[in-house]
């Protein structure tokens, strides 16, 4: 007798051992729907429906360009913030403090000069400059008058008269400038100018004090918080990039995966449904009259269609009654009110398929 005939006889014998009071149900395997929290354009599909995958195997890859740019930007911002924090913690350099002190001294001297006004020697020199400028003007004006008279008599040319006029105008401008300078020196600076010079000096003194005191703790704390926020953005961008590579969470069978490169995937949308090999179960419906003999931990014999019998354990019993589903077929007439009972299969379940029918006989 060949192996095929022996197998058929074995299965027939298994079928004959099924008790008349057995229940029917379908075997179910745990499944998981995987996807991406980010979404994007599909660039690669590495697994197809019906293929097996190991834990960590890549199923689908989405385009990473956008989030890679975000990560690069976050890293650059964190680097710049870290440098700024180092400068704040180090405080001002001594050369910066010395420069600020020198500027303060210079502004103080300017204020004192503006406050005191011009020296007597400057005023005297300005008066002499005005006197000399006035004399030059008088001389140039006289020469202009003379040239104009000669032009009327015909003894001189218009060109010479125009040159004399230009010299007279230039001398007049120099005399006016000298007179204004003398007036300013004699009058001195206005109160507003003196106060402005004083305030500039005081402001520079505050700069010196701030540099010598160093950075305030509040500023350092604020910059550290900014740096922490930048590192948080880096972590977010890295996690988003990881989400673009969709992997199998455990050893599994790819049940559903209908994607092609170029497809757009929405954030949070399922990419694939994976069947996990962990502890398949079967759900049966027990009539109310038999429920007293059913409890969690009770053993049962399960005979899948076309497979050897397996042992199962009751793992859950529903507390709510329901009507017998239309697709439940039993080997004896059952009551209308039934309770769902879940049994976890034991033994070698590698040959079982999700959705396979089986008979269940409670011990």
- For residues 49 and 275, what is the distance between their CA atoms, to the nearest angstrom? 11
Q: Between residues 342 and 219, which one has the greater pLDDT?
A: 342
The full set of domain ranges for the chain reads 17-62+254-258+277-362
In the predicted structure, residue 40 carries a pLDDT above the cut 50: yes
- Express as a percent the part of the chain with pLDDT over 70: 90
The encoded tokens of residue 96 equal 């910066």
Average pLDDT, the chain: 85
- For residues 75 and 70, what is the distance between their CA atoms, to the nearest angstrom? 9
The encoded tokens of residue 172 equal 């007049």
Interval 157-177: pLDDT, tens: 888 888 888 998 999 999 999
Helix (H, G, I), strand (E, B) or coil at 352: coil
Helix (H, G, I), strand (E, B) or coil at 148: helix
Q: Between residues 213 and 179, which one has the greater pLDDT?
A: 179
pLDDT band at 66 (very low <50, low <70, confident <90, very high): confident
In the predicted structure, residue 1 carries a pLDDT above the cut 80: no
Q: Which residues, other chains included, contact 48 with Cβ-Cβ below 8 Å and sequence gap of 6+?
A: 254, 257
Average pLDDT over residues 80-103: 86
Whether this prediction's pTM lies above 0.85 is answered by no
Query: Is the separation of the CB atoms in 161 and 148 below 8 Å?
Result: yes
In the predicted structure, residue 197 carries a pLDDT above the cut 70: yes
- What pLDDT does 324 receive? 60
CB < 8 Å & 24+ apart, contacts of 345-351: 345/27, 345/279, 345/280, 345/281, 345/282, 345/302, 345/310, 345/311, 345/312, 346/310, 346/311, 346/312, 346/313, 347/310, 347/311, 348/310, 349/277, 349/279, 349/280, 349/310, 350/277, 351/307
Q: Could you give phi then psi for residue 123, rounded to 5 degrees?
A: -65, -45
Average pLDDT over residues 310-320: 91
In the predicted structure, residue 313 carries a pLDDT above the cut 90: yes
Q: What angle do CA 146, 148, 154 make, to 5 degrees?
A: 105
In the predicted structure, residue 15 carries a pLDDT above the cut 60: no
Q: Could you give phi then psi for residue 166, rounded to 5 degrees?
A: -65, -40
Give the domain 17-62+254-258+277-362 fold: Elongation Factor Tu (Ef-tu); domain 3 (2.40.30)
In the predicted structure, residue 215 carries a pLDDT above the cut 80: no
In the predicted structure, residue 363 carries a pLDDT above the cut 90: no
pLDDT band at 122 (very low <50, low <70, confident <90, very high): confident
């Amino acid at each position: 007798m060949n192996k095929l005939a022996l197998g058929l006889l074995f299965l027939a014998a298994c079928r004959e051992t099924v008790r008349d009071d057995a229940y029917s149900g379908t075997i179910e395997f745990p499944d998981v729907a995987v996807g991406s929290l980010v979404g994007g354009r599909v660039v690669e599909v590495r697994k197809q429906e019906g293929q097996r995958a190991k834990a960590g195997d890549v199923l689908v890859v989405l385009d990473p360009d956008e989030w890679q740019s975000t990560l690069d930007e976050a890293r650059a911002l964190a680097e710049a913030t870290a440098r700024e924090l180092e400068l704040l913690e180090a405080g001002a350099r001594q050369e910066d403090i010395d420069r600020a002190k020198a500027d303060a001294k210079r502004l103080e001297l300017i204020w004192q000069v503006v406050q005191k006004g011009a020296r007597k020697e400057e005023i005297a020199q300005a008066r002499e400059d005005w006197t000399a400028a006035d004399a030059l003007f008088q001389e140039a004006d006289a020469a202009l008058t003379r040239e104009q008279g000669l032009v009327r008599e015909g003894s001189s040319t218009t060109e010479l008269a125009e040159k004399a006029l230009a010299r007279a105008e230039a001398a007049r401008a120099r005399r006016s400038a000298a007179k204004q300078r003398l007036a300013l020196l004699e009058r001195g600076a206005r109160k507003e100018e003196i106060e402005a010079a004083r305030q500039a000096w005081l402001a520079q003194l505050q700069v010196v004090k701030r540099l010598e005191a160093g950075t305030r703790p509040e500023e350092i704390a604020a910059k550290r918080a900014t740096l922490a926020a930048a590192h948080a953005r880096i972590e977010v961008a890295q996690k988003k990039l990881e989400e673009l590579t969709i992997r199998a969470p455990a050893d599994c069978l790819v049940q559903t995966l209908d994607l092609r490169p170029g497809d757009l995937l929405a954030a949070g949308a399922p990419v694939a449904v994976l069947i996990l090999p962990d502890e398949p179960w079967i759900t049966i419906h027990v009539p109310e009259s038999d429920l007293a003999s059913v409890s969690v931990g009770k053993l049962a014999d399960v005979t899948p269609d076309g497979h050897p019998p397996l042992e199962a354990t009751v793992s859950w019993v529903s507390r709510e009654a329901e009507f017998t589903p239309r697709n439940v077929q039993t080997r004896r007439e059952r009551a209308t009110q039934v309770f769902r009972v879940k049994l976890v299969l034991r033994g070698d379940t590698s040959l079982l398929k999700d959705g396979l029918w089986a008979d269940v006989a409670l011990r």
